[in-house]
Structure 1
Amino acid sequence: MSLHLVFVTSLVAQANPSTGYELANQALLEGLARAGVRTTVIGCTWPGQAVAPGAKAALGEVEVRTDRADPWLKIKWLLMSLATGLPMSSAKLRVIDEEAVRDAIASAGPFDGYVLNGVALAGAFPDSFTGKPSIFVAHNVEHRSSAENARNAGSLIKRSLFARDARLLKTIEHRLRDQSSGVVTFAAEDAVDLGVPPERSVFLPLSIERSTQLPETKELAHDLALLGTWTWHPNRIGLEWFLNEVKPRLLDDVHIRVAGSTPIDLVSAWPDVDFVGKVDRATDFVAESAVIPLISRAGTGVQLKTIETFSLGLPSVATTSSVRGIAAIPDNCTIANDPESFASALNDKIRRARAGDLQRLDGRVFAETQAQLMDAGIRQMLDMLTRTTSGAKEALS
């Protein structure tokens, strides 16, 4: 008998996924489908954002993007967070009526359990997703990321708010950990940080199906391509480190292009960097680059842009943080953590690419290995859930 699971997520599948969270959601839903699981997704969508074919935003449109919010909306979020005692990510979702959440669950029909995909929605409505076995998918160790944000924040107010969020997120993460049949993490060390017992922990390497085919490159358009959601604070920390510490040590004529949502103050501060905003085809964008800098300096979880880079066989220079959760590092990736070594490795790879040595590999081996490991992790997750389901039925009989 196939399982029917309710997939609880703050954001339903988008027509053109771009952020790491969206790509991870897509990969997870595709993995469940390969395993023969039927899913009903409960979540919302961003205003004006098209959803993927077949997807449905059961909870309507909700604006949660800080870079799109005006000052009054940010104040409203803060007041809601203070009033509810919830971290900001969950407080933003309290504009949804709890009755609408219950109706969405009821409309799913009979189902076997929940996949609690991240902290935000499950944290916003703690009493709604109960009564069935659940799996908690921890994309990151959210409380640790917020604590890192607090240490890197520029003002006392921001430091205080991030520190408060860290305390609240830790409470929610531990509650979801304890009430779930098992906890899925995309980096094995995250399970340790969350205090998950080994017998209830599943390490799930992610496989991104869109990343296995590299378009033919006729001519390189730029030396370095950086792609990400730079409005997310942990990503911004990495980008600021790269621009402030690494860039001054690069070749004088290096051409850098940055794609994705970027805070306006960074765009204006670096006029010699080509900020191009959102790109239609991320694969085409990175394929036109000589080298990919993987610059994570903060956060937890796995870096989806790293998996994409390796799956495409592109040469890269990466920090240790950028390759967490990945066991097999390709030969054309150099690991460097200090600005001098990072810049030196980039300069060497740029010179080689300009001389005609593109240093590209067949990424299919990496991609296929990731897919096999992911499918094995999905089976382990489902076994964990079905054992709990069977135990509950036996207790009732």
Structure 2
Amino acid sequence: MHLVFATSIVPCGAPETGYEIANAAVLGALARAGVRVTVMGFAWPGKQPAGPHETVLLGHVDVTTEGAPALRKVGWAATALASGLTFASAKLRVTGEREVAKALQSIGPFDGIILNSVQIAGAFEELLTSRPFAYVAHNVEHRSARENAAAASGRLARHMFEREAELLAALEARLCRKARFVYTFAEEDAAALGVAGKGLTAVLPLVTRAAIPDATAPHTPQYDAVLIGTWTWAPNRIGLDWFLNEVVPLLPEDFSIAIAGRAPDGLAGAHPRVCFAGRVEDAAAFMCDGKVVPLVSRAGTGVQLKTIEAFELGLPCVATSHALRGVAERPSNCAVADDAESFARTLVEARDASWPRLDGTAFHAAQQAALDANLKLGLAALGNDRAGAAA
């Protein structure tokens, strides 16, 4: 079987963001299933595809909104409004439909398309949904957009998120209706997208790495708590703001906290008692530098990959209920707390009692086995159309 994996950002080296980590997990499962995959999409500016011979590049684009020049944001908004596209899909219209059609033709015969998330699907919907396809719903995007609108501080931002939510709800409904199969990363998302129980969907439990690092080597944590993530992404930012503004003030002064990952400008200055480490080379090593990992998600859909990574590494955690979505089994060294007072109290308990690190290999193996099995359900649905699908 030969499939086209259509994605906004193609693999360009070691995955860094949650989106890239999820993509790597799905592509790894496709490889283990023996599927020939041609990846088609965009690369980050200045980067090249990790697998150039298996990639068709549509161009280079920076899809991050935080830190983008004002003129670029205005251009994205103008494209979105003029074309009726979502803001996220408008960012990808640096290439036209004719070029994308030529790219598909250059790939040669293939059996179907895997539409990897809603952004590229929305940018070139008519073209990419004209062939048999499976849809990978990383999130319930319209629900996330509504949460972002509710959390927005300005009227313009609130209006833009409300517009995104309306367009995304219609787009996601069309994709789910036309798809041969729909993959989600959490059971709750299948229900929210209206595809649960119809026999044409499966949950893909994710992994964040091919193998688990050795947890037996002695290591002395440098901080009481560490967090890592892409904090410029609005749903992640909602959880981080809750932690910084409501939980941190309740912690003892000697409770040390380090936060890694891309963060909005000015955040470090507003929270001087927290160490903001920026981008780190080794996310796993950084996470192991904390006695406990706070999992602070309070918005968004899909699965929290930092939750998966913490469980793979066997690290002690305190998690909100929302951070555990899409996880079938919670390890014994992970406690749940949803209000600021109990979250802060449990963090201190975890530090003072030196909660143990567990062996996460069984968790990782179970996730990967379920990922491989469930992925094949969608491949079978696409395979049923192979006779008429070859391009």
Q: Same fold (TM over 0.5)?
A: yes
Give TM-score scaled by structure 1 length: 0.94
Aligned equivalent of 1:204:
204
Pairing of 1:248-259 with structure 2 (within 5 A) = 248-259=249-260
Seen in structure 2, the aligned counterparts of structure 1 residues 76 and 223 have a Cα distance that, compared at 3 Å, is same
Question: After superposition, what is the alpha-carbon deviation per residue over 1:178-225, rounded to whole angstroms, capped at 9, x for unaligned?
Answer: 111011000011011011152111111112224611463432111111
Pairing of 1:12-27 with structure 2 (within 5 A) = 12-27=10-25
8 Å CA contact retained: 1:153, 1:159:
yes
Question: Which of 26, 31, 34 in structure 2 is aligned with 1:33?
Answer: 31
2:363 maps to 1:366: yes
8 Å CA contact retained: 2:56, 2:103:
no
Aligned equivalent of 1:377:
374
**CA positional deviation for 1:273:** 1.0
**Matched-pair identity in %:** 47
**CA positional deviation for 1:40:** 0.5
Seen in structure 2, the aligned counterparts of structure 1 residues 83 and 77 have a Cα distance that, compared at 3 Å, is same
Q: 1: distance between equivalents of 2:220 and 2:368?
A: 31
Read off the aligned partner of 1:336 and give its amino acid letter: A
Q: 1: distance between equivalents of 2:17 and 2:130?
A: 32
2:238 maps to 1:241: no
Aligned equivalent of 2:5:
7
Question: After superposition, what is the alpha-carbon deviation per residue over 1:313-364, rounded to whole angstroms, capped at 9, x for unaligned?
Answer: 00000011111011110000001111111111100011123xxxx5100000
- The alignment partner of 1:36 has SS state of coil
8 Å CA contact retained: 1:214, 1:283:
no
Pairing of 1:1-397 with structure 2 (within 5 A) = 3-54=1-52, 56=55, 58-198=57-197, 199-210=199-210, 212-214=212-214, 216-353=217-354, 358-389=355-386, 392=388
- The alignment partner of 2:266 has SS state of helix
**CA positional deviation for 1:50:** 4.7
Seen in structure 2, the aligned counterparts of structure 1 residues 319 and 197 have a Cα distance that, compared at 3 Å, is closer
- The alignment partner of 1:257 has SS state of strand
Q: 2: distance between equivalents of 1:42 and 1:341?
A: 46
Paired residues, number: 386
Q: 2: distance between equivalents of 1:9 and 1:147?
A: 24
- The alignment partner of 1:13 has SS state of coil
8 Å CA contact retained: 2:38, 2:56:
no
Seen in structure 2, the aligned counterparts of structure 1 residues 130 and 152 have a Cα distance that, compared at 3 Å, is closer
Q: 2: distance between equivalents of 1:351 and 1:53?
A: 47
- The alignment partner of 2:127 has SS state of coil
8 Å CA contact retained: 1:258, 1:274:
yes
Q: 2: distance between equivalents of 1:160 and 1:167?
A: 11
**CA positional deviation for 1:247:** 0.5
Q: Give the gaps of 5 or more residues in structure 2.
A: none
Q: 2: distance between equivalents of 1:274 and 1:210?
A: 30
Q: Give the gaps of 5 or more residues in structure 1.
A: none
8 Å CA contact retained: 1:298, 1:321:
yes
Seen in structure 2, the aligned counterparts of structure 1 residues 256 and 211 have a Cα distance that, compared at 3 Å, is farther
Seen in structure 2, the aligned counterparts of structure 1 residues 225 and 50 have a Cα distance that, compared at 3 Å, is farther
Give TM-score scaled by structure 2 length: 0.96
Seen in structure 2, the aligned counterparts of structure 1 residues 219 and 233 have a Cα distance that, compared at 3 Å, is same
Q: 2: distance between equivalents of 1:132 and 1:100?
A: 17
**CA positional deviation for 1:172:** 0.9
Seen in structure 2, the aligned counterparts of structure 1 residues 49 and 275 have a Cα distance that, compared at 3 Å, is farther
8 Å CA contact retained: 1:211, 1:312:
no
- The alignment partner of 2:66 has SS state of helix
**CA positional deviation for 1:91:** 0.7
Read off the aligned partner of 1:237 and give its amino acid letter: I
8 Å CA contact retained: 1:211, 1:311:
no
Q: 2: distance between equivalents of 1:40 and 1:68?
A: 32
Question: After superposition, what is the alpha-carbon deviation per residue over 1:158-190, rounded to whole angstroms, capped at 9, x for unaligned?
Answer: 111100000001111111111110110000110
Q: 2: distance between equivalents of 1:90 and 1:131?
A: 18
Q: What do you get for the CA RMSD once the two structures are aligned?
A: 1.4
Q: 2: distance between equivalents of 1:24 and 1:300?
A: 14
